[in-house]
Structure 1
Amino acid sequence: MHASLNELPARADIDGASAEVVLIVDDVPDNLSVLHDALDESGYTVLVATSGEAALQRAAQAQPDIVLLDAVMPGLDGFEVARRLKARPDTAHIPIVFMTGLTETEHVVAAFQAGGVDYVTKPIRPREVIARIAVHMQGARHARQARNALDAFGHATMAIHIGSGRAVWQTPLARKLLQQYFGADDPAPPQLLRWLQVQSALAAQGHAPRPMALVREARQLVISLQERTSDEDWLIVMREVSDTAVVEAMMQNFRLTLREAEVLYWVAKGKTNRDIGDILGSSPATVKKHLEHVYEKLGVETRTAAANLAMNKLRL
């Protein structure tokens, strides 16, 4: 039996099992049934979609290891589905194997131009499909392991095509950090693209690119330009730096509230009241009031004295 199309698990739920995930996309139920049973017996976790629209939704949600895609379907055909999957940074890495009865050269070429890595002809021969999948699955497995390893070390990574301003691919951690710090689902935020254009120009002139730092409360996102992976694709690494431990140390050493410790932390970093207000989401007047409490608890009268005392205490 097929899994319910309306109850498709997310990739996080699927990852609990070791089986690799295959998404089959075909509008003919009989084709789905034959492939589903053969792949299931071979140990794969099998997901299905009966339309192009459903395929895009399921691929984004479940992040399959490979997609078996029917070329000819009503509505969105397989070629357009493939183009859209390859245009999204969260699905661009997924290998696509086309299933088609169209063996004319132009159709085969169209399949590869749309982003396919291989094709099988109809009527489908399950053993052939499984053999093809095994070859491409190995490469997909290595790529997924590499992305997961980068995330595991806290180095979120993505590639951006500077000419089009399009994110070519990104690791799950990179996607999460972009949403947190840029506050949008845009995989290539305008602020990030402007920084990339400037830094790539510096790199082209032989100068060292400069990282971008974004502040969110007591955490910072440091974005660095690594290298050019192709003519116009640039590799970017993002690393989140947490100063939570420093803020907690200030709370304990000076008997400050959390917000007072955060204000003192940013004072020590040389930020103005307006800057601190922007960072903490409060007004400069509120920051000033917190700072007055900090002065009183530290027994000082100026920003410089408070900053120096905080830094000296923390060094000890």
Structure 2
Amino acid sequence: MNLPDLRATPTPDADHTAERPAWQADRPVVLIVDDTPDNLAFLSDTLQAHGYAVLVALSGEDALKRLARVTPDVVLLDAMMPGMDGFETCRRLKQDEQHEHLPVIFMTALTETEHVVRGFRVGGIDYVTKPVRPEELCARIGAHVQRSRAQLYAQTALSLDARAAVIVGADATIRWQSQQAAQQIAAYCAAPPVAEPNEADTQAKLPLPLRNWFLTWIARGAQADATHEFTLGHVRRSASVTPTAESGEWIIILKESDDALHGDALAARFGLTAREAEVLLWVSRGKTNRDIGDILGMATRTVNKHLEHLFRKLHVETRAAAAATAIKALDRA
């Protein structure tokens, strides 16, 4: 993300962000709020040199407008500004649930205890004094970014409960995974995911089948949620992807379905033959008689015969009722 030259005299209405899609620039984002263009330019150059993407705002009002469109990783906020000062800006942004846990670092020449306490009371998490020391500032920002993202992962993990879920970056790097997901991922490659041998980044990535599907989806613009399905032996696997609350990261939910186990469960529950159980399983998945015949390698009229027997054994009259009965039984299995 290239910031315009702020040493030129910008106006409060100028759009300095020119944001690129998060999947094109997967870097921590810092929003700098300062009414002095020279300060903005210095801080922007410093943070970009340390690998951060930078957004800027010349006032508290401008900062709140920015935050209505994008959520950064950290806000670097000048305490003393004309109009809406940093304390009021922080108080207002913290009223938004989306920004409740957003780390705010105050920049101030004020070192009196009352001002430091005021900053913490309105929701600030840290402060640095002017003139800002670049190395100290970057170290503080880095620590808060790491802590904030760890908290987001923890919240996401709780919301996902016991599902097989993976959080990945735009390069398919695994940033978090549930225990259930780790077990299912191993089945994609017969071993746990490993880093590429020639990569400096030692973080594990999705196994190739999932990685190729995910990266293709990213390359096409990641415009909508997507699902990937394939069959390995008698096990059907699927992976669905959707964005997380954190930009540049996605949640992949993994599911697996063992047709053999499900067929056995239906046969035992309703006293079916193996073939009848297979037909019922595919009926519960919305397949037509012709589809079922193709899948199981039998004539359509044979499928019809099996369905007649199924209806009698399940005490139903329609395939919709048979499907509902099967789905309910499998949910309880």
TM-score bracket for the superposition, by shorter chain length: 0.3 to 0.5
Q: Please identify the structure whose Cα radius of gyration is greater.
A: 2
**How does the TM-score come out when normalised to structure 1?**
0.48
Larger fraction in helix:
1
